[in-house]
Structure 1
Amino acid sequence: MNLFNISLKINGFPIKKAKTVLETIQQKNDSELSTYIEAKKQDIVTYHLTHNPFYKTFAKEANPKDWNSIPVMTKRHLQQPLNHRLSDGFTTKNVYINKTSGSSGDPFIFAKDKFCHALTWAGFIDRYRWFDLDFNTSKQARFYGIPLNKLGYYKERFKDFLSKRYRFSVFDLGDAQLEKNMNIFKNTKFDYINGYTSSIVQFAKYLQRKNMVLNTMCPTLKACIVTSEMLFEEDKVLLETQLGIPIINEYGAAELGLIAFQNTKNEWIVNTEDLYVEILDENNRVLPYGEEGRVVITSLYNKAHPFIRYDLGDIGKLSKESTLNKPLLETLVGRTNDIVVLPSGKKAAGLSFYYVTKTVIENDGNVKEFIIEQLTLDTFKISYTSSYELSEEKLNNIKAAISKYLEPNLTVEFERKTALERSARGKLKQFKSYL
């Protein structure tokens, strides 16, 4: 039974139509694809200038026929109530709503219209087939976080059931837990692994210490897809050696979907079907292929909410071998997260703080930016910028969330600042350890 497709359909996401549209786009020849991309760029700008009051105000001087006149938007521009940013005819009742992970330190709530979201899933389904993986039938070993409150927990577990996934915790990466993980692999016919890079690397390091190769214990494994964090070459070699399967690099963002996916030739193919990806310099000028700059992306189909020349907060470079129809992502700088080490000896992924930061994300856009620093083994500091001071109740809620997701008896300090220190590249790293 195709439970995954059925669940999308039940929730109002027209996956059958999305797959048909995706196939139509993919059948275009080079000339037709170039024409299609340029037309879709103009169409989405025209649509939002006509139907989105927020975008009309934001892009007053925009001319759909002059791409250089289209302003670059950042996450800071979108930190205001969601209903101020929705297009005419869209409400919180008829769109897909989610929150960004806050991995760049700039959290906000966003929306996608239901066809746009279905097209995102169609893209993922298509790419996974490159490696003979099927969302409806392939069993996934999932290294992701999970909400610990009852409603969120069971909601994610139900989604895991529909998607044939078994979720491993990233909140505990100690040897005792990793041994339990290994035993689950021994007794389950997993087809592939998917999850946070750092968590899977920690599992591979455990296997290395134990002199084990995972696919000798779980021979059904076909591939490992790493996402959400940088994959360094030495880690890729480690994963290939200890897992014994191909390692696939996935690059995406919650608000946009799939941005790039590694193919069977180790090429990092940029999504040109429903996104338009640019690399810009600090003055918003397009850089030639081979030069490193800011990753700026346009969602060509999202009519509910504009993501037009949207600065994702990452630094990257397109290969010199790229063409308009086949851009190749050569390097990506960003989303690197440290491992959290705690007094009990427990280890957790830096992205564990995603579930903590949900506590400080509010739809009124008060908290603009934040960073979390581990000062000592048991002391953490949260620095943030906001329109007004966080209440004592809110601070206590954050402390309680940290205690729940990591462990109790940790010292948490808070400091409200007018601005947060950024890297030379302008990147704001959400978590940093000084251990």
Structure 2
Amino acid sequence: MFSFFDLSLQLNGFPIQEAKADMRKIVALPQEEFEVFLENKKLEIVDYHLKNNSSYQKFVGKSSFQNWNELPIMTKKDFQEPLIDRLSKGYSPKTVYVNKTSGSSGDPFIFAKDKYCHALTWASNIYRFGWFGIDFNSSFQARFYGIPLDFIGNKKERFKDFLSNRFRFSIFDLSDTVLEGFLNEFKTRKFDYINGYTSSIVLFAKFLQQRSIILKDICPTLKVCVVTSEMLFVEDKILLEKQFGFPVVNEYGASELDLIAFQNPEGEWQVNSETLFVEILDEDNNVLPYGKEGRIVVTSLYNKAHPFIRYDIGDIGILDEKSTSKKPVLQQLMGRTNDIAILPSGKKSPGLTFYYVTKSIIEDDGNVKEFIVKQTKIDTFDIEYVSKTELNLEQIRKIEAAIALYLEKGLFFTFIRKEKLERSKSGKLKQFVSLIKEIA
């Protein structure tokens, strides 16, 4: 018998029951068997793409390999070509799950997962949220995310929210008046958990702090808060747990992959070893031992439609010395922070708002390679971008219309095409940077 959430996945062609059963088997493997299982899955996925994916064959430059460490490192730039050219033999855009990355690192692209892989991604989510008593089929989610503002996109997302048993708090405007409305929803709805962008949830917690309100007192059914997409600093976690009155869980993931790490009930940032293989590499692509800081490189062990093999996700991290192949633990993650945009009206919007703006400029021809948005004055922004061809007037007008829709009217934008964009010392490209101080 299917529950509502499971049934919606199954009806869309994603074999969730099979994926959940396979997840249980993987989790149950003892350490010795898991090591053999992992090595086999690594060899199997590489062999599959070398035989069935012409794009990966060309990238590797040969049809077989002897040593895992010989495999070249993939980056986001390697995926900025039409999706149809990156799919494996036997797959088409109509037979796979297709989505766009957020572009939070400044390198947006369209990706695909075969339907079993996407089902396994959900099985992975279900397993980890279950650690905290959350059941996607019955638990009610308070969702702090963005949402498309065009009529059709908005209705589609709302319908998905309905199927997924969640209520969405749109985070494009986080002014006090809007946050007051958020609080009223918590007074009248029986939410089980909060999930969403870190910066938005932290702003809500600061709003509660100003009013000396503990959220659990307002909404006693709440059990846990899961923050994602941006860095959760220690002081922010302390604030959240104080103002919420229940545990705050740190999640680290990538839409093109899966959950990469998820805080377990013991407080460890446990890495997903069931569907992914995570390595830490130095600048010369050498594998670093546990305890050493380096680039986070991830392999998707199940995605046959589209290769993500030794994929440099653009973050820097450390795997704890107590890690094992079955239970790696992420000791530290450096990256994924976003500034807040302060607008002339007093409206505050998190940097990830620009995810929805960039949807307007991301096309499947890979023209725009990289971009960053800099707020230089309260009403002025620079959009620096790298592209094959310069944005034309029609594209710029489209972007400006999206900005007016998602942020507010009366803002000024300068579009600056560059050969390359400035990066941080860690090599990350921060998508949004505010160069102004908050106005008191």
Check if 1:406 corresponds to 2:407. Answer: yes
AA aligned to 1:357 is T
The aligned amino acid for 2:104 is S
- TM-score under structure 2 length normalisation: 0.98
Determine if contact 2:51/2:63 at 8 Å carries over to the other structure. Answer: no
What's 1:250 paired with? 251
Amino acid at match of 2:351: G
Q: TM-score when scaled to structure 1?
A: 0.99
Matched, 1:34 2:30: no
Shift of 1:31: 0.5
Alpha-carbon distance between aligned partners in 1 of 2:192 and 2:433, rounded to the nearest angstrom:
34
Partner Cα separation in structure 1 for residue 17 and residue 261 of structure 2: 23
Give the corresponding residue for 1:125: 126
Q: Distance in 1 between matches of 2:230 and 2:15?
A: 30
Provide the residue aligned with 1:272 in structure 2. Answer: 273
Q: Does 1:238 align with 2:239?
A: yes
Q: Whole-Å Cα distance in 2 between the matches of residues 57 and 224 of structure 1?
A: 44
Contact 2:145 2:168 in 1 (8 A): yes
Alignment partners' CA distance in 1, 2:130 and 2:418: 47
Distance 1:417 1:291 in 2: 34
- Runs (4+) off by over 3 Å: 61-65
Alignment match, 1:327: 328
Match of 1:314 in 2: 315
1:65 to partner: Cα distance: 3.9
Residue aligned with 2:256, SS:
coil
Partner Cα separation in structure 2 for residue 23 and residue 64 of structure 1: 31
Q: Quote the Cα distance in structure 2 between the aligned partners of 1:317 and 1:357.
A: 31
TM superposition shift of 1:317: 0.9
Paired with 2:244 and 2:381, the residues of 1 have a C-alpha distance of 34
Opposite residue 340 of structure 1, the aligned amino acid is A
- Residue deviations 1:9-40, cap 9 Å, x none? 01100001101111111111101000000010
- Partner residue of 2:362? 361
Q: What is the match of residue 379 of structure 1?
A: 380
- 1:419 maps to which residue? 420
Give matches, 1:101-140, under 5 Å: 101-140=102-141
Alignment partner, residue 162 of structure 1:
163
For residues 325 and 31 of structure 2, the distance between their equivalents in structure 1, rounded to whole angstroms, comes to: 9
Q: Do 1:63 and 1:69's aligned partners in 2 also have CA atoms closer than 8 Å?
A: no
Name the amino acid aligned to 1:159.
K
For the 8 Å contact 1:63–1:70, the answer to whether it is kept is: no
User: In 2, are the aligned partners of 1:279 and 1:317 still within 8 Å (CA)?
Assistant: yes
**How far has the Cα of 1:73 moved from its partner?**
0.4
Q: Distance in 2 between matches of 1:261 and 1:182?
A: 27
What is the alpha-carbon distance in structure 1 between the residues aligned to residue 106 and residue 291 of structure 2?
A: 28
CA distance in 2, matches of 1:414, 1:33: 51
Asked if structure 2 preserves the Cα contact closer than 8 Å seen for 1:62 and 1:70, the reply is: no
Q: Cα RMSD over matched residues?
A: 0.9
Which runs of no fewer than 5 residues in structure 2 stay unpaired? none
Give the match for residue 348 of structure 2. Answer: 347
Residue 214 of structure 2 aligns with which residue? 213
Q: One-letter code of the match for 1:280?
A: L
Please give the secondary structure, in 1, of the residue aligned with 2:267. coil
Q: Report % sequence identity.
A: 61
Q: Which moved more, 1:58-67 or 1:19-28?
A: 58-67
Which amino acid is 2:162 matched to?
F
Write the letter of the residue equivalent to 1:45: V
What CA distance in whole angstroms lies between the structure 1 residues aligned with 2:11 and 2:335? 36
Find the counterpart in structure 2 of residue 171 from structure 1.
Answer: 172
Checking the alignment, whether the CA contact within 8 Å between 2:50 and 2:64 is kept in structure 1 is no
Match of 2:364, SS? Answer: coil
How many residue pairs match? The answer is: 435
Question: How far, CA to CA, are the matches of 2:214 and 2:171 in structure 1?
Answer: 20
Question: In structure 1, what is the Cα distance between the partners aligned to 2:312 and 2:63?
Answer: 17
Where does 1:19-98 land on structure 2 (aligned, <5 Å)? Answer: 19-61=20-62, 63-98=64-99
Q: CA-to-partner distance for each residue in 1:138-167, whole Å, 9 max, x for gaps?
A: 000000000001111011100000111000
What residue identity is the alignment partner of 2:112? A
Secondary structure of residue in 1 paired with 2:299: strand
Shift of residue 230 of structure 1? 0.4
